[in-house]
Amino acid sequence: MAEVSMCSSSGSTELTPEEERIMIRDIALAAEANTKEGDVFYLITQRWWQHWIEYVNQDQPVGGANDGSSFAEIYDSFGSSMLKRPAIIDNSDLIYDAGSEDSGMGIEIHDTLLEGRDYVLLPQEVWNQLYLWYGGGPTLARKVISAGLSQTELAVEVYPLRLQLLEVPKGDRSTMRISKKETIGELHRRACEIFDLNLEQVCIWDYYGHRKHALMNDMDKTLDDANLQMDQDILVEIINHGNNNASDGCASYVQDNGTADKEATSISLEPSKSNLNVAGGMSNKGMSKTEAVQSQNLTSSIRELDNASGHTGVSTRGSSCGLTGLLNLGNTCFMNSAIQCLVHTPEFARYFREDYHQEINWQNPLGMVGELAMAFGDLLRKLWAPGRTSVAPRPFKAKLARFAPQFSGYNQHDSQELLAFLLDGLHEDLNRVKHKPYIKSRDADGRPDEEVADEYWANHIARNDSIIVDVCQGQYKSTLVCPVCNKVSVTFDPFMYLSLPLQSTTTCTMTVTVFSSDGSKLPSTLTVTVPKQGRCRDLIQALNGTCSLKQNEKLLLAEVRDHLIHRFLEDPLISLSTIKDDSHIVAYKIPKLTKNTKYIQLIHRSQEQVTSDAHKMSGWRAFGTPLVSVVSPDGPVKKVYLERIVKKVLSPMAKIGTSMDTDVTDSTMSHAGEDSTETCTSSMNSNDPKSKVLEPLELPLQLLNEDNVCIDLSSGEEAVQLPSSSSVTVYLDWSQKLLKKFDTCHLENLPEVFKSGPVLKKARTEPLSLYSCLESFLREEPLVPEDMWFCPECKERRQASKKLDLWRLPEVLVIHLKRFSYSRSMKHKLETFVNFPIHDFELTNYVANKNSSQRQLYELYALTNHYGGMGSGHYTAHIKLIEENRWYNFDDSHISLINEEEVKSAAAYVLFYRRVKTEDVSVSNGVQTCASTQK
């Protein structure tokens, strides 16, 4: 076993657990804020770390679950009973059970360790402090490197490249570890050091797959840029003395097909002097004890992983088609989960199980010369073959790492980034267009959107035509508006998936006054809780549950300013953030009328004296809150009918002794020439027994007609023609005598909207709807300053506003929930629960192309989950086998049946929806059928 240091722990004997916790927390916070490339992190066993966490938190209250968003936050995450102080740090369970001082590679850790399960990464400052207090070891240092698609993210290189060096002509072999950020020059120097050679004597080849791939002579190029992969071969060739041309010298020993010349190497490969056996693997002869043990471990591991029919030691359902697991090769759960979702997409399962090779585009410079498509197809066939145990995706991972080196090694990666690369790479490998034509897009020039969108799509298909486009690609409408000249630019761009933001889900309160249009109740004020980033439909839904709506009623929202209706909030997608805090929101209970409905706005006016320098004048000004009712006219409407509608909405506020004729019937809305006197008299008498002795109430009403001229409604039975607009304005001029007959206080002093609730220590989070995420994504927003748009009219770069709309939806809609945000050098994860529909995901109203008659209805069939924090997380997949109509959990090689209720969780990361086809309920029939010949 590697030596374990017995450093004294007296440095912390005077510290309490609480003092240790606070000191380490403060050190961690400072280290996290300043992490940069080249810094050193240290592996520490999860077992010891967990013990220490519980020890220093034993006096703390039990906290909630850690979301993993920040390294330092874990210090306050655990509670425990009294615990003893941990012993010295013992990392021996992370390394091979053998000394590695003679291996030339330093201390080797196990290949299948998972961060968060087996080990934790500590910044150097934290490790130094813990080591000072506790001692122990061995010390396992790893550097921070740039990673990701853009090489702007930071990651700890837990597993540096392990390269197999083959020296020719001698045939000696050695293994070395080296960072992928080191240069070819450093690789060259260390190879010469290992084999005791002079730099001038040696040239090195990229010998991937036992074939000469490239002569590595650019000494400043990094191994990452050179696409070197884990465990690949490097040919170290001694060139002829006196021959200064390295490539010529190397070529004398290695044939063009990459096979070593038998005559030159046969003598040097005798068992007693070589580390190679006849099978090409490592031999125990001539090795140190450490090398022998590592060789045996590695060889047995490879044999077990590559033997599809061998016992794997894990349980999996391999007897049914589509229920085959993928072995975890070391932090490859990110890849396994994405692959399972793709191979269970019915269209892809059908395509790759048939003869797809004829569609491979071998010459596409943007593709992977067909190798990625073939590797994926082979893997898919293995996963769909009957009677198999778990599959080791080692060949696929090797191809993936070859063309996307950011996914090489054994570090954890982002499943969505891998998915994006896979979809794009498979598309280019399978692009049916062999020679892409150059097409210049024309400006819209005022043409209809439908025409421009079809033109853009045709141009796109002329250059991009594959099974990926057929299944996964849709089309945006992108609108840019210049803030200076108002120039509008519209383009229609393809998309492969939607990346939806997770908006803040803190709630707020809104106060609304509810009025009844049928005269049944006095107005009431309600305060409801709604999502802070919600829409009008959220407010209506909250009000529906508190204001006792009848079955035939609905709510009409309106924003009231200066005693007038500023706007009706009829669109359910209007954002609540557009309503000002000092506005007044009114909800009117109105009947659910659908035919020729017009709103009658009753505006209240009172007389006031206006004094000028010359004389006094009388004028009418608005006061109180407008009232709303509805009418469904068919031609001219009698004045008496409109008067009775007004009396009906005012009736709850009438004082005792006020005669109210409020019976509104169809006969009272009859056209000119029809008599309704009898009905009116009858209704008046039936409503109030005292009406015979009371003076009938007369209201001074005026109708604003089409020409903005007021028509008196209190003179006779004649009919009037209502304006053609959907909203009709009627003025009620309140005299002092009339004011005494009603309690108009109910119309005044409306409360303001309070959108901000009391300040709490911690904001309460609510479930977030997937529809809300989609609406946030489609909301018009200004471009960020670094992405400013060049306006063709202004000839200047402008911070234009951008609006995205969905125009064309694909057969399979992939939705990525943006759970990861960035703070300085670290990623943070949002643990927000998103309530996504499993069935009936209705997108028809979100498609801007209103000429499309097709209903856009989708059903969930797969998703990836991410559990834990960014560095210590784990990926799984939930898959629905459509033929069985049952859901399964795919956790690498472990597959288990789950209920549909278990599909939804806060771990959901990437969602896969398929279009529901009413004419064919089971479109995937035949895809899920076992194929005994395809393996």
- DSSP secondary structure, 639-663, as one string: HHHHHHHHHHHHGGGBPTT------
Q: Is pLDDT of 922 > 80?
A: no
Report whether 167 contacts 238 (CB < 8 A). yes
pLDDT at position 148: 52
Of 868 and 477, more confident: 477
Distance CA 693, CA 678 (A): 18
Of 693 and 274, more confident: 693
**pLDDT band of 321, cuts 50, 70, 90:** confident
Q: Across residues 227-252, what is the average pLDDT?
A: 65
Report whether 863 contacts 838 (CB < 8 A). no
Of 173-177, 281-285, 782-786, the range with the lowest mean pLDDT is: 281-285
**pLDDT band of 212, cuts 50, 70, 90:** confident
Instruction: Please state the φ and ψ torsions of residue 402, each to the nearest 5 degrees.
Output: -65, -40
DSSP string of 682-693, one letter each residue: HHHHHH-GGGGT
Nearest to 909 by CA among 850, 838, 843, 833: 833
pLDDT at position 785: 65
Structure-token pair, residue 124: 């150097």
- Known catalytic residue at 333: yes
Distance CA 840, CA 860 (A): 9
Distance CA 584, CA 511 (A): 8
pLDDT at position 483: 80
**pLDDT band of 285, cuts 50, 70, 90:** very low
Tell me which residue has tokens 């499993």.
838
Size of the chain in residues: 935
Structure-token pair, residue 551: 């079955």
Report whether 196 contacts 210 (CB < 8 A). no
Of 180-184, 654-658, 817-821, the range with the lowest mean pLDDT is: 654-658
Percentage helix, strand, coil, to 5, in the chain?
A: 25, 25, 45
pLDDT at position 32: 78
Of 312-326, 393-407, 814-828, the range with the lowest mean pLDDT is: 312-326
pLDDT at position 310: 30
- Flag whether the pTM goes above 0.75: no
Neighbours of 891 (CB within 10 A): 24
Structure-token pair, residue 563: 């005693």
Which residues does 9 contact at the CB level (< 8 Å), separation at least 6?
Answer: 88, 133, 134, 135
Cα-based distances in Å from 403 to 214, 423, 795, 928? 15, 14, 40, 31
Q: Is pLDDT of 376 > 90?
A: yes
pLDDT at position 259: 37
Tell me which residue has tokens 């009232």.
627
Distance CA 198, CA 191 (A): 10
Most confident of 35-49, 336-350, 720-734: 336-350
Q: Across residues 772-801, what is the average pLDDT?
A: 82
CA 482 vs. chain centroid, Å, equals: 29
Q: Of the listed 333, 472, 482, 547, which one is catalytic?
A: 333
**pLDDT band of 578, cuts 50, 70, 90:** confident
Q: Across residues 695-706, what is the average pLDDT?
A: 76
Q: Across residues 420-448, what is the average pLDDT?
A: 87
Burial class (CB in 10 A: 0-12, 13-18, 19+), 204: buried
Nearest to 665 by CA among 639, 687, 636, 644: 644
- Known catalytic residue at 110: no
Q: Across residues 463-486, what is the average pLDDT?
A: 91
Q: Is pLDDT of 163 > 80?
A: yes
Report whether 288 contacts 103 (CB < 8 A). yes
**pLDDT band of 805, cuts 50, 70, 90:** very high
Q: Is pLDDT of 474 > 90?
A: yes
Most confident of 70-84, 508-522, 668-682, 801-815: 801-815
**pLDDT band of 686, cuts 50, 70, 90:** very low
N- to C-terminal Cα separation, the chain? 43
Strand pairing category for 498-501 and 812-818: parallel
Of 285 and 517, more confident: 517
The full set of domains in the chain, from first to last, is: 17-57+87-96+106-156 (3.30.2230.10), 161-238 (3.10.20.90), 507-608+620-651+698-747 (3.10.20.90)
CA angle 195, 199, 205 (to 5 degrees): 75
Q: Of the listed 563, 584, 874, 878, which one is catalytic?
A: 874
Most confident of 76-90, 521-535, 688-702: 521-535
**pLDDT band of 504, cuts 50, 70, 90:** low
Question: Which amino acid is residue 367, in one-letter code?
Answer: G
Distance CA 290, CA 2 (A): 11
Tally the C-alpha atoms within 13 A of residue 538's C-alpha that lie toward its C-beta: 25
Q: Is pLDDT of 419 > 90?
A: yes
